[in-house]
């Protein structure tokens, strides 16, 4: 029996004008936003996280804390020193390296661009750093011990939009801080605005263009195993408190783990997602009002039909049901369009993130998400239709039939 | 002379009043009418506009409830029925035919005929067969899947007749069934009503055309100002005595 009302409602919907469908825009936009947001969630997180250079989850970084403008550690008041590094290296079961990030002027093709140079340590520390940044040469080779006057550049130098007017390729010579260097390799794309724009050089070369002395920007520490992360953090903290002669809660340094950074990223993303969710809810609410409006109009337009149906035996409940189902179906149609658009955004967004980051995030289509979006919009349509359908049901057949 | 068989009373209006209150004015649309309609009779209700014809038909058709008085359909007092009981009653026992056809524009001829059966919860196959049969009967077998906008006035009214018959009603209420049709298409529609009457259906027709009433109906009730003014009966096997209706019409003018 209910099926008959669905059939009748579909027939009525088919004869709806453009106006009715336009009022669905709110539902469509809302559902699109929700579906896209949820199906893009993981991809977005990965994308934002990689902007922070976060990859390994068991790497601990230490930097001097101060007012930070520019790259991490550069604005520090009391910088970390090589002595700090040596002491940390003496802790049991840790590997530690110094990472310097130096602002530099790069000249190539007679154009100057300001960028950053970073050090690659020698010996076993080199492999440690390479594995941490997942270094792979997309062209040429990586730096090795004994390379002097040679550099590897980030992926963005390899593109035409690097600011030099011409892509940098292995074999080119470029000027850094007025010293000439030969490019021996290009790093594969990291998907990070920072890491793809950096010049990598051996420690001696970096020392020759900077006047850091024994100052260090960042100390990267890897505990021997993941279980030792917390223990290592407290060991390093105690050590530095002593070395730098500061009290706890007044530290002039900062220890962070990628996990903590990732949590920060998640928090930022959560904020964004809540914001979008609010916009989506407003838009769905407006969509629901639109359905209420178009259903009321429809009741007015079909007053005569209602009178006819009552005269041939339709009860008030049957009239109510017809308009109620019609309204639910309107919501459902909005939901279907929204789900299609949302999945479209989700799929193409993931493809976009993958090609931008050079990753292989899986494209997920969640049946549960689709179903709940459809059921949700069906229900919203139904709720929006209750009052108009009640209005339809209580039309007086004698009055409606008298109208011509 | 053969004694007429006693027919059972199908509809009875007992001192029925219908007043409309508009501010301080009271419109006495129906002002104490009592009528009995026997099973199988063809009744015409005549009267000028504002005489209460349509209101009485709405009351008999249970679309409206009387202010005072009782209406019996098949022995049941429908003035005490609830709204949804009335709807059920309309669907099962009454078939409406309107002057302006009143088909649902979004539905095809066949779907329009199926609709009253839908509201009675009749299974789909049965609805299909019945509606096809009925449309064949009104000679619209080739127009079943046309929408009302694709049909002529006469065809629409024949669809409406088929729809009125969908649930085998006890009585057909026809409100000016030829009012929007020319004489020729009107007579085709009346031919089908006659056919139904011969099959034993009770028909109540509202009209302001005396010729129509004279030719087709057995009993004509004259209404004026909400009151039953006069009743004319056709004698068995005859048309109205010496054009009595025409004389009455003349007298009124």
Q: Which chain B residues have a beta carbon less than 8 Å from that of A14?
A: 106
Q: Would you call A398 and B58 a contact, using CB atoms and an 8 Å cutoff?
A: yes
Query: Average pLDDT, stretch B131-146?
Result: 93
Choose from B62, B98, B119 for mutation: most chain A CBs within 10 A: B119
Chain A residues touching residue B63 (CB < 8 angstroms) = 310-311, 397-398, 401
* Nearest residue to B49 via CA among B151, B138, B153, B176: B176
CB pair distance less than 8 Å for A397 and B111: no
Radius of gyration of chain A (CA): 32
ipTM of model:
0.88
The domain limits of chain A are: 2-52+262-402, 58-98+214-256, 101-211
CATH superfamily of B39-66+81-252: P-loop containing nucleotide triphosphate hydrolases (3.40.50.300)
- Determine whether the interchain pair B84/A317 forms a contact, defined as Cβ–Cβ distance below 8 Å: yes
Listed in sequence order, the residues at least 6 apart from A126 whose beta carbon sits closer than 8 Å to its beta carbon are A120, A143, A144, A145
Task: Look at residue B240 and tell me whether its pLDDT is greater than 70.
Answer: no
Nearest residue of B to residue A304, measured between CA atoms: B102
Residues from B in contact with A at Cβ < 8 Å: 54, 58, 61, 63-64, 83-84, 87-88, 90-92, 96, 98, 100, 102-107, 111, 115-116, 118-121, 124, 163, 166-167
User: What was the pLDDT predicted at A51?
Assistant: 65
B64 to A318: CB separation less than 8 angstroms, yes or no: no
Q: Which residue has the tokens 């039909």?
A: A305
pTM of the predicted protein model? 0.75
The pLDDT of residue A399 = 87
Taking contacts as CB-CB distances below 8 angstroms, the residues of chain B near A309 are: 104, 115, 119
Picking from B217, B133, B203, the residue whose alpha carbon sits closest to that of residue B169 is B203
- The string over A271-304, giving b where at least 16 C-beta atoms fall within 10 Å of a residue's C-beta and e elsewhere, is eebeeebeebeebbebbbebbbebbeebbeebbb
Which of B63, B84, B111 shows the shortest C-beta gap to A311?
Answer: B63
Return all residues near A404 (Cβ < 8 A) that are at least 6 apart: B100
What are the residue ranges spanned by the domains of chain B? 39-66+81-252
Cα–Cα distance between B184 and B182 in angstroms, integer?
6
Tell me what the pLDDT averaged over chain B comes to: 87
- Intervals of chain A under pLDDT 70: 50-58, 66-77, 404
A274/chain B closest Cα distance in angstroms: 44
Closest Cβ–Cβ partner in A15, A311, A402 for B96: A311
Instruction: Identify the pLDDT of residue B6.
Output: 57
Q: For residue B248, is pLDDT > 70?
A: no
Strands A101-108 and A111-120, how do they pair?
Answer: antiparallel
**What confidence score (pLDDT) does residue A73 get?**
54
Q: For residue range B78-129, what is the model confidence (pLDDT) as tens digits?
A: 888 888 889 999 999 999 999 999 999 999 999 999 999 999 999 999 999 9
Top CATH class, A58-98+214-256: alpha beta
Identify the closest residue of chain A to B172 by CA–CA distance: A312
Residue spans of alpha helices (H) in B75-205: 83-93, 109-119, 124-137, 153-164, 183-198
């Amino acid at each position: 029996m209910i099926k008959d009302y669905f059939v009748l409602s579909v027939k009525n919907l088919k004869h709806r004008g453009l106006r009715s469908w336009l009022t669905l825009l709110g539902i469509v936009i809302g559902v699109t936003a929700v579906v896209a947001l949820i199906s893009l969630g993981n991809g977005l997180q990965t994308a934002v996280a990689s902007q922070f250079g976060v990859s390994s989850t068991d790497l601990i970084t230490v930097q001097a804390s101060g007012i930070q403008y520019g790259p991490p550690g550069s604005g520090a008041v009391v910088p970390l020193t090589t002595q700090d590094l040596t002491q940390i290296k003496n802790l049991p079961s840790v590997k530690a390296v110094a990472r310097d990030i130096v602002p530099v002027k790069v000249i190539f093709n007679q154009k100057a661009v300001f960028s950053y140079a970073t050090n690659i340590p020698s010996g076993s520390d080199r492999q440690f750093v390479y594995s941490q940044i997942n270094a792979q040469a997309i062209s040429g080779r990586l730096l090795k011990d004994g390379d002097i006057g040679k550099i590897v550049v980030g992926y963005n130098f390899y593109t035409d939009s690097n600011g030099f007017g011409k892509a940098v390729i292995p074999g080119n010579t470029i000027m850094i801080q007025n010293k000439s260097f030969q490019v021996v390799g290009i790093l594969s794309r990291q998907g990070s605005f920072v890491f793809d724009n950096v010049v990598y050089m051996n420690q001696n070369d970096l020392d020759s263009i900077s006047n850091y002395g024994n100052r260090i920007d960042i100390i990267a520490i890897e505990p021997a195993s993941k279980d030792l992360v917390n223990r290592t953090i407290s060991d390093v903290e105690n050590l530095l408190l002593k070395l730098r002669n500061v009290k706890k809660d007044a530290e002039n340094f900062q220890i962070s783990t990628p996990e903590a950074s990732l949590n920060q990223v998640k928090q930022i993303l959560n904020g964004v997602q809540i914001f979008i969710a609010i916009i989506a809810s407003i838009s769905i609410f407006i969509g629901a009002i639109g359905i209420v409006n178009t259903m009321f109009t429809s009741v007015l337009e079909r007053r005569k039909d209602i009178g006819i149906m009552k005269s041939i035996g339709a009860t008030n409940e049957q009239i109510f049901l017809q308009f109620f189902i019609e309204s639910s179906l309107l919501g459902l149609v909005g939901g279907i369009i929204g789900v299609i658009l949302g999945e479209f955004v989700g799929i193409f967004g993931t493809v976009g993130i993958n090609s931008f980051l050079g990753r292989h995030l899986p494209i997920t289509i969640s049946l549960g998400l689709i179903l709940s979006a459809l059921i949700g919009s069906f229900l919203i349509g139904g709720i929006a239709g209750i009052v108009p359908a009640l209005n339809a049901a209580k039309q007086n057949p004698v009055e409606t039939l008298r109208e011509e | 002379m053969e004694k007429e068989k006693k027919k059972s009373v199908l509809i009875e209006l007992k001192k029925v009043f219908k007043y409309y209150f508009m501010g301080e004015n009271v419109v006495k649309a129906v002002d104490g009418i009592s009528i009995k309609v026997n099973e199988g009779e063809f009744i015409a209700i005549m009267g000028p506009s504002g005489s209460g014809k349509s209101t009485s038909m709405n009351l008999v058709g249970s679309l409206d409830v009387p202010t005072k008085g009782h209406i019996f359909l098949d022995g049941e007092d429908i003035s005490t029925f609830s709204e949804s009981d009335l709807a059920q009653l309309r669907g099962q026992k009454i078939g409406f035919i309107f002057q302006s056809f009143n088909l649902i524009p979004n539905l095809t001829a066949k779907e329009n005929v199926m609709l009253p059966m839908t509201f009675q919860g009749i299974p789909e196959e049965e609805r299909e067969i019945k509606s096809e049969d009925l449309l064949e009967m009104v000679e619209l077998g080739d127009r079943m899947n046309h929408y009302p906008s694709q049909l002529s006035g006469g065809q629409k009214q024949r669809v409406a007749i088929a729809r009125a018959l969908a649930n085998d009603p006890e009585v057909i209420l026809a409100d000016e069934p030829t009012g929007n049709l020319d004489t020729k298409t009107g007579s085709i529609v009346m031919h089908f009503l006659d056919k139904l009457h011969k099959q034993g259906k009770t028909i109540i027709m509202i009209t302001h055309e005396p010729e129509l009433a004279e030719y087709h109906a057995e009993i004509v009730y004259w209404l004026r100002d909400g009151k039953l003014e006069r009743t004319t009966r056709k004698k068995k096997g005859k048309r109205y005595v010496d054009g009595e209706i025409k004389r009455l019409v003349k007298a009124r003018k």
